[in-house]
A and B are shown apart, each in its own frame.
Chain A
Amino acid sequence: MKKKLIAMLVCIGLVASLFAGCKSSSDGGQSGNTEPTKGASQDAAEPTDEAQGETPAIALDGTWPEEHVKIAVECFDTTDEGFLALQSYLDYLTDYYNISFIYSESIASAEDELSFIDSSAAAGCKALIAYYNVTKEEAVKACIENGMYYWSADAGLAEAFKDNEYYLGGYSFLKAGDDSSHNGDYLGGYQMGYSLANQGAKHILYCNGGVSLGIQMFIDRQQGFFDGVAAAQAEGSTAVFDQKADVIGGWPGTDAFAAAQTAALDKDYDAIGVSFSAAVWFQPIATVGKTGQIKLATIGGVTDTFYDAFQTGQMACAVYDCEEVVFGNSIVTILNAVTGNIDIARDNGVPAAIYVNRWTVADADSFTAIYNYHDEGKYFVTAEDMTQCFPAFNPEASYQTVYDLYSALDLETALAKIK
């Protein structure tokens, strides 16, 4: 009885496996494709031919590209507000382009990351948007082995994979020729420090997050913050800030951080710069009755968390990476790559580095305007705006078209767009 039952189940399993395997091979075995140029060059013919004629009338109704494009998105925290905002934008694009997305769970380790990449490849994803990267080069290699394009913001990877067309590059907070030490994190810190000191702060505190752990992002933000305060002081700000005494490290959720918060709130600080989400200060400030007396600056999104804080005057500034600008260009780059327009996806054969602006939102009106704009389901880069970057819609499209579209969107332009 036992043996018969096992045999029967095993047979069913094997038949189903064989049946499933046959079907999969008829799909072309895309997940197993590891030849860098094959996919891209084969797909290249169609759009190029179209581009040579008149502008084709292609409907923006979710039918282009002709072949469905599935894209994997890797994130570190599925509940992160910035990631959720990006997810909303990407979902909006699925109504207009023939694309869909697979999102990772919160990636906690190198093993999780490589596992997600492999699963995405098996699911038929043609590209990965690395909203997060644990293993650095290994993640890119895994994508290349699986025949997936890799889009990332990690400029440190560009040199290693500059000759591999599966590495698409990403955005950059620096223009060509800018001081490379003044990266996006440095600039974010700088803008926070400058804004606080420039808005009349008398005594500033800075929360440096993971500096003691040697996390480069926080080191850069801290240096930027120091320089930002110094720049404002040089312009006449009387803000007091000591780079040792007025800095606290660590993370929320630890006893040490809670103690440091309590001690800080006993002092006369009227401005706090936070290298992560400043939301951790709302409750402690309210508890000691200093709501409205202390201004906060944060690196964070235009989200519900900070909406009320801006309305009540608790926020001095939010350094904001607008999702459709900073990360949205990944879709343009990836769609160009998978439709055979790799010359538009990359910059003259090297990985893309599309300059984008970090927006320093320093007043409630601007914050509210951006918040409401998104809340109404509107975006600063619409699906229609993106068509100018695709030869199928615009035969003149080039890498420069993509670069110009995204790099032009600074805060001022965005606010003008709202009006």
Chain B
Amino acid sequence: MEKTITNGKDKVKSPSRINTRQIGNMAPYIGLILVIIIFGVLTEGRLLTVANLKAMSNDAVTTGIVTIGAVFVFGAGYFDISLGGSIGFAAVLGGLAAISTGSLLVAFVVILVVSIVLAVLKGLVAAYIKVPYFIFTIVLASVFSSTVLVILGNESSIFLKNAVKEIPSFNFTQMSIINTVTLFGFFIFGLILFNYTTLGIKVKMMGGNPRAAVQSGIDTKKTTMKLFLVSALGVALAAFIILIRTRSVGGTTAGSMGNDVMVALVVGGMPLSGGPRSKISPGIVGAATVTILNSGLAIMGLTTGEIQICRGLVFIAVVLVSSLSYRGKLLPR
């Protein structure tokens, strides 16, 4: 029987408590597997055809990449709702660069630079200006979308086909390869950074208790800048992939990404408040679950209302099961 020592007294953990916590920790994986099994059966196998797996990789990759980067920001307690706006802004500027030069390389560099600049801006506000960061990102998201409209001027969207010289396009299979390599490459990068370097530990400590983190000797300002730069890499990769996949960007590009990332984080088993329970896996698990769920519901041919009801029920179920492991640990309020 497992024992722990608390305040000098032996405290015995009951088997049921252990099971509840373990199930809570595994809930995201159980949810993912259940979603695969249930929709695999309900769609008579269409969910798992090669073509649909490729399609789902296209859908999951942007959410996955941004979520991996967002783990660092949300993990440290910064609730960032402007991720979609950042992607759209970077993608539009990258798209304009591609159209005016005919070069995807130039587009990528522009997207990367823009993403880094935006990340530095966000990092400076988060680290040095004591305003509620969540409110700041709400305003920032609005500013991004408005700026995009101003930049686009008389156009609602811009298309890579209008570039000064032809920009190579990628077919379905090529995009699937690019997506898979990028997603898993960035996941491994994030995994190492989060689990095997001090940055991950600092992020968790800052999210758990910023004051304690400072008193532990963590340079929270420097760490904040670093974690926003990691997030910027995810934003840049996602913006570039959206640009080369859709070959068009506009005011609505990545418009729902902010919500998708939050759903992926929650479904992936990470509290949005960050802290010690933060983990890198939601980038893959959460994004995959959401994508499979959406694809399965769409393949079944349900109406829009039915899809929304099913989606909501699944999310509620996963969140409830996930919360089993930490609800009892909340400090009394």
A interface list, Cβ under 8 A from B = 1-2, 5-6, 9-10, 12-13, 16-17, 19-25, 27, 29, 31-32, 34, 70, 78, 100, 102-103, 105-106, 108-116, 118-124, 134-138, 141-142, 145-146, 210, 212-215
Q: In terms of DSSP, what is the predominant structure of the interface of chain A?
A: helix
B305 to chain A, nearest CB (A): 9
Across the interface, which residues of A come within 8 angstroms of B253, CB to CB? 109-111
Across the interface, which residues of B come within 8 angstroms of A105, CB to CB? 304, 307
User: Judging by beta carbons under 8 Å apart, are A122 and B26 in contact?
Assistant: no
| CA–CA, A34 and B50, complex, Å | 13
- One of B51-59, B68-76, B127-135, B206-214 contacting the partner: B51-59
Tell me whether A29 and B247 are in contact in the complex, defined as CB-CB below 8 angstroms, given that A24-B44, A109-B255, A119-B55 are known contacts.
no
Does B315 make an interface contact (CB < 8 A)? no
Across the interface, which residues of A come within 8 angstroms of B149, CB to CB? 213
User: Judging by beta carbons under 8 Å apart, are A121 and B51 in contact?
Assistant: yes
User: Judging by beta carbons under 8 Å apart, are A20 and B172 in contact?
Assistant: no
Does B14 make an interface contact (CB < 8 A)? no
User: Judging by beta carbons under 8 Å apart, are A135 and B51 in contact?
Assistant: no
Does B157 make an interface contact (CB < 8 A)? yes
Contact of B41 among A20, A108, A113 (CB under 8 A): A20
Does B47 make an interface contact (CB < 8 A)? yes
| CA–CA, A78 and B154, complex, Å | 27
Does B195 make an interface contact (CB < 8 A)? no
B interface list, Cβ under 8 A from A = 22, 26, 29-30, 33, 36-37, 40-41, 43-52, 54-56, 58-59, 62, 149, 153-157, 159, 161, 169, 171-172, 242, 245-250, 252-256, 294-295, 298-301, 303-304, 307
User: Judging by beta carbons under 8 Å apart, are B298 and A6 in contact?
Assistant: no
Across the interface, which residues of A come within 8 angstroms of B54, CB to CB? 118
B85 to chain A, nearest CB (A): 13
A160 to chain B, nearest CB (A): 9
| CA–CA, A417 and B40, complex, Å | 49
| CA–CA, A121 and B41, complex, Å | 18
Tell me whether A135 and B246 are in contact in the complex, defined as CB-CB below 8 angstroms, given that A6-B26, A102-B301, A108-B256 are known contacts.
yes
Across the interface, which residues of A come within 8 angstroms of B55, CB to CB? 115, 118-119, 121-122
User: Judging by beta carbons under 8 Å apart, are B301 and A214 in contact?
Assistant: no
B197 to chain A, nearest CB (A): 26
A108 to chain B, nearest CB (A): 5
| CA–CA, A193 and B159, complex, Å | 33
User: Judging by beta carbons under 8 Å apart, are A24 and B298 in contact?
Assistant: no
User: Judging by beta carbons under 8 Å apart, are A146 and B51 in contact?
Assistant: yes
A154 to chain B, nearest CB (A): 13
Contact of B248 among A2, A16, A136 (CB under 8 A): A136
User: Judging by beta carbons under 8 Å apart, are A135 and B298 in contact?
Assistant: no
Given contacts A6-B26, A12-B33, A138-B246, 19 further A-B contacts (CB under 8 A): A5-B26, A6-B29, A13-B33, A13-B37, A16-B36, A16-B37, A17-B48, A29-B51, A31-B49, A103-B303, A109-B254, A109-B256, A110-B246, A111-B59, A111-B246, A118-B54, A121-B52, A212-B154, A214-B155
In this complex, which of A17, A24, A29, A102 has the most chain B Cβ atoms within 10 angstroms of its Cβ?
A: A24
Across the interface, which residues of B come within 8 angstroms of A123, CB to CB? 43, 46, 298-301
| CA–CA, A9 and B298, complex, Å | 25
8 shortest interchain CB distances as A-B pairs: A214-B154, A118-B55, A20-B45, A24-B45, A110-B246, A122-B52, A119-B298, A20-B40
Which residue on A lies nearest to B153, using beta carbons?
A214
Contact of A16 among B41, B155, B247 (CB under 8 A): B41
Across the interface, which residues of B come within 8 angstroms of A106, CB to CB? 304
A71 to chain B, nearest CB (A): 11
Q: List 9 A-B contacts (CB under 8 A).
A: A13-B36, A19-B45, A34-B172, A105-B304, A110-B252, A119-B294, A122-B52, A136-B248, A137-B247
Which residue on B lies nearest to A8, using beta carbons?
B33
Across the interface, which residues of A come within 8 angstroms of B157, CB to CB? 110, 134
| CA–CA, A75 and B307, complex, Å | 16
Contact of A114 among B40, B45, B58, B155 (CB under 8 A): B58
Which residue on A lies nearest to B22, using beta carbons?
A2
| CA–CA, A6 and B26, complex, Å | 8
